[in-house]
Homo-oligomer: A and B are copies of this chain.
Amino acid sequence: MSKRKIRNMAEFATVSGISRPTVSKYFNDPGSVRETIRARIEAALEQHDYRPNIYAMNQNRRLTKNIGIVVPYLADPFFAEIARRIERRCIDAGFSPTLFSAHGSPDLETGILDSLRSLKPAGVFLAPLGRASDRAQVESFCRDVPTVLFDSNLDGIGDVFVGHDNLQAVGLIIDYLCRTGAPPCFFEMPPLNPNANKRREAYHRAMERLGHTPQVIRVPGDSWEFESIGYRGGLEVIDSGQLATNTVLCSNDRLAVGFLAAAYERRLRVGHGPDCALRVAGHDDHPFSRFTCPPLTTVAQDYDSIADQSAEILFRQIEDGSRAETRQDVLFEGKLIMRSSA
């Protein structure tokens, strides 16, 4: 290493004996400078460990390498996981992702979108809060910045939506549940986003199609602490004898985790065996669902495809600088994950 630290690109250009614009060119694309020059720069780089200031870089660039990733609630393992995958793909593609969580708050969400404008991102992955989102803000943001909406669809907003085929997925698991036992009731909380609504609708449709009468059980709750809501609601539902069937399809896995805890507390054995009192199924296959007791039968979202496709679409859009003409919806099918809870 060298004696004193390099403070900026000009200093580094001096010590490496190359002009600053050329050094700048190198950092933008090492392949764009001549072999001999590149070697000299890289030699100097080993001597002096200098890195361009990424925020200054993006100050006056036509196209930055910044990518924003926005999720509604990062402490939710589902979003933590999907964000992790998207982040990795950004890094692999040479972008600098920055992760934001709205922590369930609409104000924070619009605040994040404002910060993002300052970042001048080349593109953004946005999983909006859903119902609570400030539609106007999101819409205006999507007009200004190439944005891929994922997970939660806001119709008419943005160029592309990549998500989960709730209709198919719910149909799939209901089919399975009905073939293997009693038709399920649907256990949900007040919907925070369109997925919840779509799932309920899909439940109705599937039950109708199969000739069963639907039973929707909605329990109260308005936070992102789904396990807690499922637990409390589960206790209430069990104790009041509201269950018309022994099979419970939960709107999502976290709710199911709470319900399982309630069933356990009430000593109801959950599973598909003959000695079980209750079958419980979830939706999403979130990262810890295979470790519940019993392991949770559920429909998996196709994490990989959603992350891959979102990334691919956004990166392509960034490359050719074109905004899509028509809005595009990309949905991936859910996969049935048969475990022992149902």
- Across the interface, do B294 and A264 meet the contact criterion of CB distance under 8 Å? yes
- Across the interface, do B84 and A80 meet the contact criterion of CB distance under 8 Å? no
A77-B77 in contact given A100-B99, A258-B291, A291-B261 (Cβ < 8 Å): yes
The residue of chain B having its C-beta at the shortest distance from the C-beta of A59 within the complex is B56
Q: Which residues of B contact A231 (CB under 8 A)?
A: 291
Q: Which residues of B contact A261 (CB under 8 A)?
A: 290-293, 295
The residue that A118 contacts in the complex, of B56, B80, B118, B290, with Cβ under 8 A, is B56
A322 within 8 A of B: no
The residue of chain B having its C-beta at the shortest distance from the C-beta of A100 within the complex is B99
A321 within 8 A of B: no
Instruction: Give a binary string over A235-257; 1 marks a CB under 8 Å from any B CB, 0 the rest.
Output: 00000000000000000000001
A98 within 8 A of B: yes
A53 within 8 A of B: yes
Bound-complex Cα distance A264 to B270 (A): 12
- Across the interface, do B74 and A83 meet the contact criterion of CB distance under 8 Å? yes
Q: Which residues of B contact A99 (CB under 8 A)?
A: 74, 99-101
Within the complex, the shortest CB–CB distance from A82 to chain B, in Å, comes to: 10
Q: Which residues of B contact A103 (CB under 8 A)?
A: 84, 87-88
Bound-complex Cα distance A228 to B288 (A): 9
The residue of chain B having its C-beta at the shortest distance from the C-beta of A103 within the complex is B84
Q: Which residues of B contact A227 (CB under 8 A)?
A: 288, 291
A260 within 8 A of B: yes
Instruction: Give a binary string over A2-16; 1 marks a CB under 8 Å from any B CB, 0 the rest.
Output: 000000000000000
The residue of chain B having its C-beta at the shortest distance from the C-beta of A56 within the complex is B59
| Interface positions of A from 198 to 229, Cβ below 8 Å from B | 227-228
A96 within 8 A of B: yes
Instruction: Give a binary string over A69-105; 1 marks a CB under 8 Å from any B CB, 0 the rest.
Output: 0000011010011011001100100001011110100
Instruction: Give a binary string over A34-74; 1 marks a CB under 8 Å from any B CB, 0 the rest.
Output: 00000000000000000111111011000000000000001
| Interface positions of A from 255 to 313, Cβ below 8 Å from B | 257-258, 260-261, 264, 287-288, 290-295
A134 within 8 A of B: no
A337 within 8 A of B: no
A318 within 8 A of B: no
The residue of chain B having its C-beta at the shortest distance from the C-beta of A76 within the complex is B80
A167 within 8 A of B: no
Which residues of A line the B interface, CB within 8 A?
51-56, 58-59, 74-75, 77, 80-81, 83-84, 87-88, 91, 96, 98-101, 103, 108, 114-115, 117-119, 227-228, 231, 257-258, 260-261, 264, 287-288, 290-295
Closest 9 CB pairs of A and B: A264-B293, A75-B80, A293-B293, A53-B118, A261-B291, A54-B118, A227-B291, A55-B55, A75-B84
* Given A51-B118, A53-B118, A99-B99, 19 further pairs, Cβ under 8 A: A51-B114, A52-B118, A53-B117, A55-B55, A55-B58, A55-B59, A55-B119, A56-B118, A75-B77, A84-B101, A84-B103, A91-B108, A228-B291, A257-B288, A258-B291, A261-B290, A261-B292, A292-B292, A292-B293
